[in-house]
């Protein structure tokens, strides 16, 4: 029986050690019936792109609370492209100032979520992004 | 170029994408499996199982590191975690313990959700392993879901099965029960820096002494023939020129995954077991069993398919009603329906 599941990589790039948000998202997407691969803390963009490739995920969720999102996100997007994973979508959660929101979306990030974002919105957006 | 050809050429993206097709058991996946099958049968398949929290993932991480650094082997890891029985979703967290392997192009880690399968593996794990085998990986390490007592499917798939224990997880009565300990080719006592390690080791040792008498009696031309063999741990019993197959006594190896101690000795045990399988003929026997089980499963599946194509739902329902009303027994009903095929 063919059983297509949405596969999500939830990753924590960079040096901040706060993974509560990443775990909440992983759990929420799990409860929405998705298969979530969690990488653990302090991943380099290279490690994340490599994991996304090996796991053949549909979408990558990045959790960044260090303020380094404008350095990390473009690098990860570039590496995904280099590896031929142009179909893989990226969304970001964390502390993201409003002025960066627009630039991230321009780069191709499908969703940006700050504190207080509802998990239902994120689940819905992930489904939409993967199906588009 | 087909995806199978791309994989034989070492294309990692093609490999990753095909693994998804195979995991979903799609027609694309099945066609590729057919194309890849002649290239399989070379890899050493190592199963790693044990209770949740015994340190399987960390152990696999260390083993893979050892094989990369010391033996320069190409390694694939299939790590299985459970799916939720309610939503079908899963959090696959085995990679968290395998971060030392990142950035090495000769290691490929793939996480798999069990998707409702109960034996410790997912339905399509064996097929995923075949793809890795064909892709030229020397070793395929299969890490099961955290297993209780009867998740023993991995022993049918792997050549060498490691059962990982940790101190403080049950006494000598647990050790003589049937199930997971029985399938071990190698017993690993991980977290060996924890208190109670001697007791765990002792319980396992006494379990082995009960299970493996040093004297075996074989029936030979109707008369009992005694074969004396004094097997020592980790070595096949002295290969006497008799009809007896040498006995493999599972060695017990202590490890501490967090610091990597005992790993080289464990790799030694694994190499010895592989050599034993090859010299005793058990390698061929295990391959045979595995492929036979697979063939039987495929036949069962297509027979069921043919059955549902040939037997009208109305007749099926009518016959079922007769069974429910106690007019026909299930045994007779099965015969009646099978005649339609």
Please give the pLDDT value at position B171: 58
The distance of B10 to chain A (nearest Cα, Å) reads 13
Please write the tens of the pLDDT for every residue from B45-103.
999 999 888 999 999 999 999 999 999 999 999 999 999 989 999 999 999 999 889 88
pLDDT bracket for residue B245 (50, 70, 90):
low
Kindly state whether residue A1 falls inside one of the protein's structural domains.
Answer: no
Q: Which H helix or E strand runs over A127?
A: helix A119-131
Determine the residue among B28, B92, B107, B127 to mutate to test chain A binding: the one whose Cβ has the most chain A Cβ atoms within 10 Å: B92
Query: Could you give phi then psi for residue A13, rounded to 5 degrees?
Result: -80, 155
Question: Into how many domains does chain A fold?
Answer: 1
Is B92–A38 a contact, with Cβ atoms under 8 angstroms apart?
yes
Q: B44, B160 in Cβ contact below 8 A?
A: yes
Residue at A106 is within a domain: yes
Does B13 contact chain A (CB < 8 Å)?
yes
pLDDT of residue B178: 57
Cα–Cα distance list, B81 to A35, B52, B57 (Å): 10, 10, 11
Q: Which phi and psi (to 5°) does residue B227 adopt?
A: -120, 120
**Helices B12-23 + B125-134 axis angle, to 10:** 160
Q: Say which CATH number the domain at A70 has.
A: 3.40.50.280
In this complex, which of B25, B88, B90 lies closest to A1 when CB atoms are compared? B25
Residue/partner pairs of B39-42 with CB below 8 Å, 24 or more apart: B39/B8, B39/B133, B39/B134, B40/B130, B40/B133, B40/B134, B41/B133, B41/B287, B42/B133, B42/B136, B42/B138
Is A2 a domain residue?
Answer: no
A52 CA to centre of own chain: 10
* All domains in chain B, ordered by first residue: 40-212+249-299 (3.40.50.300), 311-341 (no CATH)
Q: Name the residue among B19, B90, B102 with its Cβ closest to that of A56.
A: B19
Measured over the CA atoms of residue B261, residue B264, residue B265 and residue B270, the dihedral's sign is positive
**Interface pTM, i.e. ipTM:** 0.92
Q: How many CA atoms lie within 13 A of B55 on its CB side?
A: 23
B8 Cα to chain A: minimum distance (Å): 16
B71-74: Cβ within 8 A, 24+ apart: B71/B267, B72/B106, B73/B106, B73/B138, B73/B139, B74/B106, B74/B107, B74/B136, B74/B137, B74/B138, B74/B139
**CB pairs < 8 Å spanning A and B:** 87
Name the residue range of residue A98's domain. 7-131
**Helical packing angle, A119-131 and A20-31, nearest 10°:** 60
Report residue B242's pLDDT band, with 50, 70 and 90 as the boundaries.
Answer: very low
Selection from A39, A46, A41, A43 nearest residue A79 by Cα? A46
A28 domain residue, yes or no: yes
Q: Is residue A29 part of a domain?
A: yes
pTM for the model stands at 0.86
Distance, CA of B254 to CA of B262 (rounded, Å): 6
Q: What's the pLDDT tens digit per position in A34-68? A: 999 999 899 999 999 999 999 999 999 999 998 99
Provide mean pLDDT across the span A104-117: 94
- Where is average pLDDT lowest: B22-26, B39-43, B170-174, B185-189? B170-174
Task: Give residues 96 to 115 of B whose Cβ lies within 8 Å of A.
Answer: 96-97, 99, 102-103, 108-111, 113, 115
Neighbours of B60 (CB within 10 A): 26
Q: Which of B1, B28, B19, B166 is nearest to B79 (CA)?
A: B19
Give the minimum alpha-carbon distance from B14 to chain A in angstroms, rounded to a whole number. 10
Flag whether A56 is in a domain: yes
| pLDDT at residue B116 in the model | 85
Residue A99 Cα, gap to closest chain B Cα (Å)? 33
φ and ψ at residue B145, rounded to 5 degrees: -65, 160
| Percent of chain B topping pLDDT 90 | 62
């Amino acid at each position: 029986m063919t059983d297509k599941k949405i596969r999500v990589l939830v990753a924590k790039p960079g040096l901040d050690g706060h993974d509560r948000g990443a775990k909440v998202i992983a759990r929420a997407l799990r409860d929405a019936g998705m298969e979530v691969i969690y990488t653990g803390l302090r991943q380099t963009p290279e490690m994340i792109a490599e994991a996304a490739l090996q796991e053949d995920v549909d979408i990558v969720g990045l959790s960044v609370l260090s303020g380094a999102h404008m350095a990390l996100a473009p690098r990860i997007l570039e590496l995904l492209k280099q590896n031929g994973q142009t179909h893989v979508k990226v969304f970001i959660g964390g502390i993201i100032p409003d002025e960066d929101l627009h630039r991230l979306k321009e780069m191709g990030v499908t969703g940006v979520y700050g504190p207080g974002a509802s998990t239902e919105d994120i689940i819905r957006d992930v489904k939409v992004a993967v199906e588009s | 170029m087909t995806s199978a050809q791309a994989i034989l050429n070492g294309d990692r993206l093609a490999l990753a994408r095909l693994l998804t097709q195979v995991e979903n058991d799609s027609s694309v996946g099945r066609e590729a499996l057919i194309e890849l099958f002649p290239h399989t049968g070379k890899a050493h398949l190592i199963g790693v199982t044990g209770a949740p929290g015994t340190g399987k993932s960390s152990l696999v991480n260390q083993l893979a590191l050892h094989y990369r650094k010391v033996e320069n082997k190409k390694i694939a890891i299939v790590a299985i975690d459970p799916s939720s029985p309610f939503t079908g979703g899963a959090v696959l967290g085995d990679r968290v313990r395998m971060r030392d392997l990142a950035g090495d192009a000769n290691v490929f880690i793939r996480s798999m959700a069990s998707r409702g399968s109960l034996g410790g593996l997912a339905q399509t794990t064996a097929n995923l392993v075949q793809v890795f085998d064909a892709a030229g990986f020397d070793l395929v390490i299969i890490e099961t879901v955290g297993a209780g007592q009867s998740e023993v499917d991995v022993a049918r798939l792997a050549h060498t099965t490691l059962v990982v224990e940790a101190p403080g997880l049950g006494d000598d009565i647990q050790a003589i029960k049937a199930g997971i300990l029985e399938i071990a080719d190698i017993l690993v006592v991980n977290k060996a820096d924890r208190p109670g390690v001697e007791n765990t080791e002792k319980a396992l040792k006494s379990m082995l002494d009960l299970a493996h008498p040093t004297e075996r009696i074989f029936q030979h031309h109707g008369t009992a023939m005694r074969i004396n063999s004094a097997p020592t741990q980790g070595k096949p019993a002295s290969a006497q020129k008799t009809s007896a197959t040498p006995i493999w006594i599972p060695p017990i190896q202590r490890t501490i995954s967090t610091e990597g101690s005992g790993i080289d000795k464990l790799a030694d045990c694994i190499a010895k077991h592989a050599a034993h399988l090859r010299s005793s003929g058990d390698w061929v026997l295990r391959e045979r069993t595995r492929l036979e089980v697979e063939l039987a499963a495929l036949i069962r599946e297509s027979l069921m398919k043919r059955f549902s194509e040939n037997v009208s739902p109305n007749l099926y329902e009518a016959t079922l009603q007769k069974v429910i009303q106690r007019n026909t027994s299930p045994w007779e009903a099965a015969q009646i329906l099978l005649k339609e095929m």
